[in-house]
Structure 1
Amino acid sequence: MSSINFNAGATSALETLRNINKDLQKTQNSVSTGERVNSASDGVSYWSIATTMKSDNKALGAASDALGVGAAKVDTAYAATESAIDVVNEIKAKLVTASESSADKDQINLEVEKLQEQLTAIGKAASFNGENWQISGSNTSTTAKVVDGFVREDSGTVKITTADFNLSSYAMFSTLASDVGSGGILGAVMTIALTSASTQGAIDGFMTTVETALSSLTDAGAALGALTTRITLQDEFASKISDAIDSGVSRLIDADMEEESAKLSALQTQQQLAVQSLSIANSSGQNILRLFQ
């Protein structure tokens, strides 16, 4: 039976076309964005995991940037330590020269004073972005920290991890008094002063002071070297973790472009057929009209 009030064929064809258009829009969106999960409505679980991991990966990237800043601080402090070792070795050589009975100790002391001034200059210059690890008193804490990671624990809580460097043990100076370094590893070296009356016993005492300072500077250089290794390894690890997170998120939300391409072609064909079917169904009213001609 045919009716002029209700066209069952057209209604069915229209519903089919709506569904095809809906699927086609979704597939086109997947093709254009490259993602099969673009919003929470596409898959709450995967979308939630991907959103959290993208956020964590961004924080991890920021931590990697902070590692670069930390590495620069360590490199600056290490360069200062190496330079200080060279200067202290020069002072040691001057003391050896002063041990010779005919040496002019007053003249040698002038050279020692210039070397001491150089040590102060090295300590003052060892600053990166306003932070100086070679003058512990210039910092608000006796421990310097370098951000080296971002961690999400099993409980869901997050925290920033740091690598520490003990300024109180390894800084060249503790303070600058009247623009002269004092305290710290080199504080005693800065008190060395030769005169024509200096005895061999006094010079031997100065040599002991220099050797102690060299030993401490060597320990400081070793600590900075170890920290550099830690930062380098952490930077490489962070890069690998970031790649792993990107790969995991990709598996969760990225579209299979081969599959989506085939689906798009099929849906476009179905859309054309559905439009044609709707057109045929709509023409049934014209057939009824012919009955009355």
Structure 2
Amino acid sequence: MTSILTNSSAMVALQTLKSINGNLSDTQNQISTGKAISSAKDNAAVWSISKVMETDVSTIDSITSSLNLGQSTVSVARQAAESVVSKLQSMQEIAVNASSDNVDHSTLTEQMGQLAESIKSVIGSAQFNGLNLLDGSSSGMSMLSSFSRSGNTITTSSLTVEAKDLLNGAYVAKSAFTGTTGASATGDTFAMTLDATTGTGDITFDTSTLAAGDTVSLTISGQKVSYTLSAEDMASTSPSALVATGLKSAIESLGISGLTVDYDDTSADTLSLSNTGGTALSVTGQYANAGSTDLATLDVSTSTAAAASVEKLSALISQATAVASYYGSTETQLSDQADFMSTLSDAMTTGIGSLVDADMEEASARLTALQTQQQLGIQALSIANQQPQTILSLFK
């Protein structure tokens, strides 16, 4: 039966053409955007995964930028520390030359002063983006180094870079004293009072964080004694014992009436003080860094003073070298971590692309096929629409 009201052939052709046009629109969108999934309606699950991964990539890129900034800051500190080492070596050469009697000590003293000022200038200018790790103005810096995701839970880790105060010599937090009886100790200071007739007290020395060139001193009722740690002391099995015995001898040489100092071999780092002299005694302790500010006190005006300065400069070189080595290894660590995070970002970006990017070769072939189908669909619809006109021949 042929009907002029219902053209089934045209309806089928129209639906087919609509489907072809829809597929053609999707293909053209893929070609124009380069993505097979550009919105949630294309594939909600894959689109959601890709957006989470894109957020992670953005975070990783920010971490990489932070690591690169930290690496640049550390690089400046390393180069400055290396420069300080070089200048200290030059100062040591001058001190060695000044150890002889037949040299111009005045000229050598002037050269030492110029190098000391140069060192301070180098340290003072060793800043990057306003942060100086060498002049004591900063406690260091911390930065995110990585993060991981487990569902909606994010776990991060950080890298911390310590500041090494080359200008003032405070390379690490140091403690020199601990008190056990009637004493107050705060690490680098010590204080106690010995009663006039029965006063006793112990002083325990802690050299675990000290370095060659550091000085530990005690002042007993206005009279000061001190002991400076040498490189050989620090290399020994018990530097604390050397400090204790050295200060014991120095205290005894003061000849303070009624004051006795005992040294117990079983507690090699402790001195026990006892006062029976009838006058209360105050005992205070002070620890002094062997820092670069001490360079101003280096003396090469005589051969004897210059010889003493050689040992101190050796300790300073050792400390500055340790600082340069620390920043060198830290710079390598930051560089390696930044490289890893950059590689991770690239890998994740590739993974996102495999999920949402369009296959352009396939899309091009599909576009050609759909354009052909569209033309055929239009032709089929045109033929189907002409069928009711054949009914007119029945009425002639």
When normalised by structure 2's length, the TM-score is 0.64
**Aligned counterpart in structure 2 of residue 144 of structure 1, from 141, 146, 158:** 141
d(CA) in 1 for partners of 2:155, 2:311? 46
Any idea what SS the aligned residue of 1:226 has? Answer: helix
Alignment match, 1:244? 347
Closer, same or farther in 2 for the Cα pair 1:41/1:285, shift >3 Å?
same
Alignment match, 1:101? 101
Spell out the pairing of 1:82-101 with structure 2 (5 A cutoff).
82-101=82-101
Q: Report how many aligned residue pairs link the two structures.
A: 278
Q: Compute the displacement of 1:219 (Å).
A: 0.8
Q: Compute the displacement of 1:275 (Å).
A: 1.1
Residues 150 and 158 of structure 1 are in contact (CA less than 8 Å); yes or no, is this contact kept in structure 2? no
Any idea what SS the aligned residue of 1:187 has? Answer: helix
Report % sequence identity.
31
Report the residue type matching 1:265 in the other structure.
Answer: T
Q: Please give the root-mean-square deviation of Cα atoms over the aligned residues, in Å.
A: 2.4
Alignment match, 1:171? 165
In structure 2, stretches of 5+ residues that fail to align are: 170-287
d(CA) in 2 for partners of 1:259, 1:274? 22
Alignment match, 2:294? 188
d(CA) in 2 for partners of 1:157, 1:108? 64
d(CA) in 2 for partners of 1:184, 1:270? 87
Residues 98-129 of structure 1 show CA distances to partners (whole Å, capped at 9, x for unaligned) of 21123343432222111111111111121112
Alignment match, 2:57? 57
Report the residue type matching 2:110 in the other structure.
Answer: L
d(CA) in 1 for partners of 2:369, 2:131? 64
Alignment match, 1:69? 69
Q: Compute the displacement of 1:22 (Å).
A: 0.7
In structure 1, stretches of 5+ residues that fail to align are: 176-181
Alignment match, 1:178? none
Spell out the pairing of 1:116-265 with structure 2 (5 A cutoff).
116-137=116-137, 139=138, 142-147=139-144, 149-158=145-154, 161-167=157-163, 170-174=164-168, 185-195=291-301, 200=304, 202-265=305-368
Look at both structures and tell me which one has the larger radius of gyration over its CA atoms.
2
Residues 8-37 of structure 1 show CA distances to partners (whole Å, capped at 9, x for unaligned) of 222221111111111111122222322211
**Most deviating of 28-37 and 211-220:** 28-37
Any idea what SS the aligned residue of 1:153 has? Answer: strand
Alignment match, 2:370? 267
d(CA) in 2 for partners of 1:5, 1:183? 105
Q: Compute the displacement of 1:136 (Å).
A: 2.0
Q: Compute the displacement of 1:289 (Å).
A: 2.9
Report the residue type matching 2:108 in the other structure.
Answer: I
**Most deviating of 114-123 and 266-275:** 266-275
Q: Compute the displacement of 1:183 (Å).
A: 6.8
d(CA) in 1 for partners of 2:363, 2:161? 53
Any idea what SS the aligned residue of 1:163 has? Answer: strand
Residues 133 and 140 of structure 2 are in contact (CA less than 8 Å); yes or no, is this contact kept in structure 1? no
Report the residue type matching 1:40 in the other structure.
Answer: A
Residues 53 and 245 of structure 1 are in contact (CA less than 8 Å); yes or no, is this contact kept in structure 2? yes
Residues 189 and 209 of structure 1 are in contact (CA less than 8 Å); yes or no, is this contact kept in structure 2? no
Q: Compute the displacement of 1:145 (Å).
A: 3.0
Residues 78 and 324 of structure 2 are in contact (CA less than 8 Å); yes or no, is this contact kept in structure 1? yes
Residues 264-288 of structure 1 show CA distances to partners (whole Å, capped at 9, x for unaligned) of 2222222112111111111122222
Report the residue type matching 1:192 in the other structure.
Answer: L
Report the residue type matching 2:33 in the other structure.
Answer: T
Closer, same or farther in 2 for the Cα pair 1:183/1:124, shift >3 Å?
farther
d(CA) in 1 for partners of 2:108, 2:129? 37
Alignment match, 1:284? 387
d(CA) in 1 for partners of 2:151, 2:373? 49
When normalised by structure 1's length, the TM-score is 0.85
d(CA) in 2 for partners of 1:37, 1:86? 60
d(CA) in 2 for partners of 1:158, 1:209? 50
d(CA) in 2 for partners of 1:195, 1:117? 18
Any idea what SS the aligned residue of 2:160 has? Answer: strand
Residues 300 and 309 of structure 2 are in contact (CA less than 8 Å); yes or no, is this contact kept in structure 1? no
